[in-house]
Amino acid sequence: MKLLKLTLLLIVATVPLAGATPNFIIIYADDLGYTQTSVPMMKDRPELGHSLHHTPHLERLAARGMRFSNAYCPSPVCTSSRASIQFGMTTARVGCVSIHDVVMNKRKVDFKKNLSLAEMLTQSKKGYHSGFFGKGCTPLGWFKDHGYDETDFIHKHPNGNGHGDWWEPAEKTPIPVDDPKRLFSLARNSIGYLERRASDKKPFFLTISHYALHVRNMSLKSTRRKYLDLVAEREGIADEIPDISKFDDNADEMPVKLRSHWERANYAAMMENMDTSIGMVLDKLKELSLEEKTYVIFSSDNGGGSSNKPLQGGKAKMWEGGIRVPMIVAGPGIPANSQCDVPVAQWDFLPTMHKLAGSEAPLPKDLDGVSLRSVLKKGNEGKLPKRDTGLVFHFPAHYTIPITSYRDGDYKLMRHLNTGEIKLFDVAKDMGETKDLSKSMPEKKAAMVRKLDAYLKKVGAWTMEEVYKTRLEELEKWIGEKKQQISDCEAKLKKNPNDRDSLSKLKKAEMSLSKFQETLSRVKENQNSKRWL
């Protein structure tokens, strides 16, 4: 009898939900930092939750699920993170560093050759329907080309940053004031999708990809007033802070000393509006009796652009503030109000969902992710499959500080790609990366460098030399083309000074030439920079 009971317990422990194929929802925030919600990613450190920002629905999600104190996005910028998460690979392997990745473009990387999250679930033969709403990934183009059954890509171009600023970016149509950053239409679209799946009974995978909190920051006027008053109270400002944006016609009426306070309040209001949008979806999930068989994963594509203290750096930086992000997972078998301290990355989502879905279809051999199923069930007591290498974050960017970071266990190594200088931190004890151990632990440093270099060589990662060379060649080519256009226009105007078309083309070419020359100077400046922050 004891043996029978043990066998039954083992069976229950290995099935996501008896008699049901689980659903998946990924809620992906944009530019949300580790400490920017009211949910501290470490329960014993409440100061890691933001004291001003109010996110009660994320608090509710954390109360019924698991928060991750050491969760990483693939990159400190959005485009490469969004490509990486789709295919279960690091940015180094997938071949995408940024929105204008010159080496990716030169090599004509074909993302359709990779297995996407949606395609993986389709291959499971479990009948999955997949939807993707919100901000996409420019190099990936139209998401229906990557296996998604339904998207809200209904504009002239695939959804990108501009769709969070304009209703139709091609015509610069304003977003309605009652739908800042499309937060509420995104929730309504997602709710409609859930209702259709509740009706047809199909298991589903839905990605809700927010445009918030990317600039331009927008919020509801009523919510903003709440935070303007809160900020005024905190700062001891007796008078009411005017609700005047720098984009308003009367922007000059805003006292200069109050502008930063308005920005803080607007950001906090946008945060709460995003949380409200998330809450609308979570409420509908429960109302439709789908909550018990749905895994909900919440995270961010990169670190925040504002303060991420106690973490160093932020968006576009390879310090912890740029790549360590909030992550909460709730769903079948996940302990309520739990915490996992095991380092994980978003490229783990694909093999995790493969395992939780019970798929028997083989996965590609070149994935970097591993299934998180064990830690989702057991937290810190769970054991992850062995990784080929630790967590590699390769960022050979020509427009900012180029650094490769590599976390293996408690240690994180950082290499400056201009100078080759190495830093080493124990981020388990020193999450703020304040004590460089590279000189006091030379053997550890050397071992990690060997493993990192072996991985980068194996996957054919872009080198900084190739990135700079390709970018400079591109800019010099464009500069040459503009100079030729200017010469041609000047020749035509010499013959006919009243040629308006040539005059217009000349002005545009001169503006473009100036822009390309300035960009060229910045790239050369970046190339010679030794800065870390």
User: What would the DSSP string read from start to end of 356-404?
Assistant: HTT--SPPPTT------HHHHHHGGG--PPPPSSSEEEEE--SSS--EE
In a domain, 475, yes or no: yes
In a domain, 231, yes or no: no
Shared domain check, 159 and 279: yes
Whether the CB-CB separation of 128 and 99 falls below 8 Å is answered with no
The CATH number of whichever domain residue 307 belongs to comes to: 3.40.720.10
Overall domain count for the chain: 2
Q: Give the pair of three-digit tokens for residue 181.
A: 């950053």
Alpha-carbon distances of 223 from 54, 243, 266, 271, 391, rounded to whole Å: 11, 11, 8, 10, 39
The last residue of a domain, from among 364, 381, 398:
381
Alpha-carbon distances of 438 from 175, 189, 319, 404, rounded to whole Å: 50, 50, 16, 15
The whole-number pLDDT of residue 5 equals 44
The last residue of a domain, from among 381, 413, 432:
381
The whole-number pLDDT of residue 20 equals 82
In a domain, 317, yes or no: yes
Which structural domain range is residue 377 located in?
21-211+264-381
The last residue of a domain, from among 342, 364, 381:
381
Shared domain check, 474 and 364: no
Enclosing H/E stretch for 166: strand 166-168
Q: Residue with structure tokens 């910028």?
A: 77
Whether the CB-CB separation of 73 and 372 falls below 8 Å is answered with no
The whole-number pLDDT of residue 99 equals 84
Shared domain check, 376 and 514: no
Shared domain check, 155 and 280: yes
In a domain, 290, yes or no: yes
In a domain, 15, yes or no: no
The whole-number pLDDT of residue 197 equals 98
Q: Residue with structure tokens 């999450």?
A: 431
The CATH number of whichever domain residue 500 belongs to comes to: 1.20.58
The whole-number pLDDT of residue 307 equals 82
Shared domain check, 470 and 375: no
Shared domain check, 493 and 372: no
Shared domain check, 57 and 191: yes
In a domain, 33, yes or no: yes
Instruction: Give the amino acid at 501.
Output: D
The whole-number pLDDT of residue 388 equals 82
Whether the CB-CB separation of 357 and 97 falls below 8 Å is answered with no
The whole-number pLDDT of residue 98 equals 85
Residue 466 dihedral angles phi and psi, to the nearest 5°: -65, -40
The whole-number pLDDT of residue 305 equals 84
One-character DSSP codes across 398-457:
SSS--EEEEEETTEEEEEETTT--EEEEETTT-TT--S--TTT-HHHHHHHHHHHHHHHH
CA angle in degrees (0–180, nearest 5) for 59-63-68: 85
CA angle in degrees (0–180, nearest 5) for 457-93-447: 45
* Measured distance CA(223)–CA(264) in Å, rounded: 13
* Measured distance CA(187)–CA(133) in Å, rounded: 9
Shared domain check, 340 and 192: yes
Residue 211 CB neighbour total at 10 angstroms: 26
Shared domain check, 343 and 468: no
Average pLDDT, consecutive stretches of 10 residues, N- to C-terminus, the chain (533 residues): 44 46 98 97 97 98 98 97 97 93 95 97 97 96 97 93 93 94 98 98 98 96 97 94 94 94 97 98 98 98 90 95 98 98 98 97 96 97 91 96 96 98 98 98 98 97 97 98 96 94 96 97 96 93
Whether the CB-CB separation of 465 and 450 falls below 8 Å is answered with no
Residues 6+ apart with CB under 8 A from 24: 121, 204, 205, 206, 294, 295, 297, 353, 356, 357
In a domain, 254, yes or no: no
SS3 345: strand
Shared domain check, 468 and 368: no
The whole-number pLDDT of residue 249 equals 92
